[in-house]
Chains A and B, each alone.
Chain A
Amino acid sequence: MALRDLTAAEQVAALQAGETTSLELVDAHLAAVEADDVEAFLAIDGDGARERARAIDAMPERPPLAGVPIAIKDALSTRDIVTTSGSRMLEGFRPVYTATCVQRLQDAGAIVVGKTNMDEFAMGSSTENSAYKNTLNPWDHQRVPGGSSGGSAASVAQRQVPWSLGSDTGGSIRQPAALCGIVGMKPTYGAISRYGLIAFASSLDQVGPFARTVEDAALLLRHMVGRDPMDSTSLDWPGGITLPTATDLAGLRVGVVEELMGEGIEPGVRVAVDSSLKAIEDLGATVVPVSLPSALSGLATYYVLAPAECSSNLARFDGIRYGHPVPADNLLDQYEMTRGQLFGPEVKRRIMLGTFALASGYYDQYYGRAQRVRTLIVREFEAAFEDVDLLASPTSPTVAFPLGDRTADPYAMYLADVCTIPVSLAGLPAISIPCGLSEGLPVGLQLAGPAFSENRLLDSAHALEKALAFDTRPPGLVT
């Protein structure tokens, strides 16, 4: 078995048992990272990674994750490693500090090998909005990996790294995980510090893990959660994350969101989701239909709130301290020309949408109303969780679509997140696990739970994962 075929937990065990070294692991993965057949990486820190691997190999006592390689979405600030958030605006930008979640993983011994491609400032569902390049879906190089964390998802599916970090605002971890046939999790809002995550929409952004197994996702999550004094919206974690062990789902009540199983869901996706719901019942759970009447208003709500926040969050990129200022006669022209040249079309579209939504005279009609719908969605989830323990739905209404297929039609692209957005608006944890294939491409099942139900979510997803026995190896991948 090749080192790259080991899960992260298996790599930890092999290292602890002295069967391999951190340097061996890092070298094996770096070879695939440097080859980068799926164009997943924007920056590679080979020398730094090998240096840290040697240092860890020399330690008398290994920290818990030592020295397993990891890839980091380029939206997360990494000291001295170029961090662009997929934008020309930050081309060549070397941060002076490291994001809290990355720092915690490094403190636990994880070795950052590089930064992964993404839609510019995390805005998109295919990674085609990257200012630098397209990332390819490891299952079919003619198709998108999903987005916005497409590089992180593809790098794990391609086994360039056993796991990676992404960020999820409306589905940017779960949807690419589904399209690449791996596990992706968005924790409860506030579970992981956002300090160092380059903001897209602050009230929705959340960091989370990609991995090939639920156990690995739990292991990574365990080392990131908990309050950070640098993020006042981060929360204490009651009891910590436990590694999943469940083998059945006896006694569990699972609700199927009716509104997310109807029109717009591809037949092949439906079939795969239905068969995994059958597997859930076979494991001893009760499956019942649940209605979230406002769920389908989620998309419209999201496309008011997220652009509004992004219009403010991205205002600091004015060309004076980042990017290359375009010379102009006066300050205002300089701002406009610099931003006009360095932001991509989707970012500009959302900044304009958000600026409009916050404009005086329109605020109540757009931002105010969207906030009220958001509250309604939160209440509907709360009501649903009085009856059921978890909610199930497809993660994405379709499997991976061909590159270029939706770039001319923003609304078609936005629909890719229709199933993931309601959960984001409610700030709840959700996990996507691969549940089957449709026309040879992976389908993801989304399980969502109440706030701080991560342990139950992980345990249930783990039991189901074992029952489904999905093979995460893309066809033709040689390790």
Chain B
Amino acid sequence: MSGFEPVIGVEIHVQLSTRTKMFCGCELSFGDPPNVHTCPVCLAHPGVLPVVNEEAVRRALMIGLALGCEIAPRSIFHRKNYFYPDLPKAYQVSQFDIPICGRGEFVAIREDGSELRVGITRAHLEEDAAKLTHLGGRRAGAEESVVDFNRGGTPLVEIVTEPDLRSASDAVTFLRQLRQTLLFLGVSDCSMEEGSMRADANVSIRPVGSHEFGTKTELKNMNSFRFLERGMDAEIARQEGILRDGGRVSQETVHYEPETGHITSLRSKEESHDYRYFPEPDLVPVAPDPAWVDELRANLPELPLSLRRRMVDDMGLSAEDALVLTESPELVAYFMEAAALADPKACANWIRGELRAQLRDAGTEPWESKVTPAHVAALVDLLAAGTVSVPAAKEVLAGMIETGDQPAAVVEAKGLAQMDESDLAAVIAAIVESNPDQAQQLRDGKDKVMGFFVGQAMKQTGGRADPQAVQKLVRELVLGS
């Protein structure tokens, strides 16, 4: 309707959660006092040299393999030169024309179950800059700027996508599922708030049907997916406004202010950098042994996309079930353990539904609770066997959360076992007899009144009645059918 189509590509920086930094032995940390994790190498003392962290290479390769990237048999590091106080060498060791991971593709699943395919341009290794804090104001107006070199030299993987995304919502769907995949790989904490995952979006728009790209702007470093999505939508709207007024979008870096919803231009003059990239002479090429790469490929954990496909195709789950249950590796493991013992669909319903709902107040996740996956499966089996009713099962679950006991033990302790049919029939007969008005309404075809009988039955049996059985008995007694 608008006549314009957004074109979006994203760049994601992921801090690897290795024990030590990219080029020296200093430990990674978050929240420690400033400048305690430093050494001559990461402080760039005269004469020092970098040495590549093999674990960082391993994790970069895992990311590349998970994204279906071509792994370079021999990649090299480059120096990216620029002066800034957060960069003690005045160059960042990064990769340029021969990154460790080349072209790949990531498949995300939208909520409606449709596939979203995003081309990966590259994924390369580099080091993070130190953390600069401006006291008493922003940038040029600051009273004082201080540097914390703890972060300087943290290994980063930068993932760059093709401009394959056509909406802010698709971009965020992609980013969320990419984050999930990285969490499953165990390569990074991927915390947007702590900055261990940072995303920039390149946004342009073009007339629908056009194959040319419009001028793009770069939306910088949002610290949540929600703000990123809003920011992209705001930027798309801003660009549309400019084009409709006959103006031209200028290539610049922009910033989204979540408080006001406004887009502001971040830096224009400072941006005209010439980084003077050239091959880093202090490092030898990264040439991973093909046998090592094969071993890493063979040992990759099962990733969310494959898990989701398996859940839908083989286990009878809905696309939405699968999306929710693959939120984290822990939740998947929890579900899979339960699903191996009882009906997967029922396990999925109970885990993503009632169990998480009841645990939410305590702020606990299922795998942290006293309820084991085997107990969930046992509960699902009790329901299937008709031993407990659905309402009773919810109460049983509450008991399990509290005590960590087997569901059967909770049923026993709380007397929640379903009544057998002859006992229940006596209760129903009494209810019908003492409520003649409601019985008449039912005879008159007012089916809604059935809820009243079920409620009464539950109340008088302490939840031990099966609602289906109650309805059947009421119908037989009142309607004779």
Interface residues of A (CB under 8 A from B): 76-77, 83, 85, 90, 93, 95-97, 99, 194-199, 201-203, 229-233, 308-309, 311-312, 315-316, 318, 320-322, 330-332, 335, 355, 358-360, 363, 367
- Residues of chain B from 261 to 295 with CB closer than 8 A to chain A in the complex: 274-278, 281-284
Residue of B nearest to A355 (CB): B276
Judged by a CB distance under 8 angstroms, whether B213 is at the interface is no
| Contact A195–B281 (Cβ < 8 Å) | no
Q: Please indicate the chain B residues that have their CB under 8 angstroms from the CB of A355 in the complex.
A: 276
Q: Are B48 and A312 in contact (CB under 8 A)?
A: no
Q: Is the CB of B48 within 8 A of A195?
A: yes
A359→B51 contact, CB < 8 A: no
Would you call A330 and B46 a contact (CB within 8 A)? no
Given the known interface contacts A195-B47, A203-B281, A360-B274, the answer about A315 and B81 at a Cβ–Cβ threshold of 8 Å is: yes
Contact A95 B278 (CB under 8 A): no
C-alpha gap A197/B281 in the complex (Å) = 14
A316 touches which of B44, B140, B277 (Cβ 8 Å):
B44
User: Is the pair B40, A99 in contact by a Cβ cutoff of 8 Å?
Assistant: no
Q: Quick check: A95 and B274 within 8 Å, CB to CB?
A: no
Pick from B51, B90, B281: contact of A318, CB under 8 Å: B90
Interfacial chain A residues near B89, Cβ < 8 Å: 315-316
Q: A-B pairs with the 8 shortest C-beta distances? A: A315-B90, A203-B281, A358-B276, A202-B281, A77-B47, A198-B46, A196-B47, A198-B47
Interface of A is mostly: loop
Distance, CA A202 to CA B284, complexed state (A) = 12
Q: Which residues of A contact B443 (CB under 8 A)?
A: none
Asked if B135 is an interface residue, CB under 8 A from chain A, the answer is: no
> Does A96 contact B40, Cβ atoms closer than 8 Å?
yes
Number of interface residues of B (CB under 8 A): 29
The residue in chain B whose Cβ has the minimal distance to the Cβ of A331 is B85
B73-88 to A contact mask, C-beta < 8 Å, 1/0: 0000001010101001
Q: Which residues of B does A touch, CB under 8 Å?
A: 40, 43-52, 79, 81, 83, 85, 88-91, 140, 274-278, 281-284
A315 and B278 contact, Cβ closer than 8 Å, known pairs A95-B46, A231-B49, A232-B49: no
Interchain CB contact under 8 A, B45 and A96: yes
Please indicate the chain A residues that have their CB under 8 angstroms from the CB of B45 in the complex: 77, 95-97
Are the CB atoms of A367 and B46 closer together than 8 Å? Answer: no
A427 to chain B, nearest CB (A): 11
Q: Given contacts A96-B40, A97-B45, is CB(A359)–CB(B281) below 8 Å?
A: no
Closest chain A CB from B1 CB (angstroms): 42
Distance in angstroms between the alpha carbons of A96 and B46 in the assembled complex: 10
A315 touches B91 (CB 8 A): yes
- A315-B81, A316-B44 as given contacts; A232 in contact with B91, CB under 8 Å: no
Instruction: Name the distance in Å between A41's Cβ and chain B's nearest Cβ.
Output: 20
Of chain B, the residue at the smallest CB distance from A197 is B47
Q: A85-B46, A96-B45, A315-B81 are in contact. Are A367 and B52 (CB under 8 A)?
A: no
User: Cβ of A232 and Cβ of B51 under 8 Å apart?
Assistant: yes
In this complex, what residue of A is CB-closest to B44? A316
Using Cβ atoms and an 8 Å threshold, which residues of chain A touch B79?
312
What separation, in Å, do the CA atoms of A85 and B46 have in the docked complex? Answer: 10
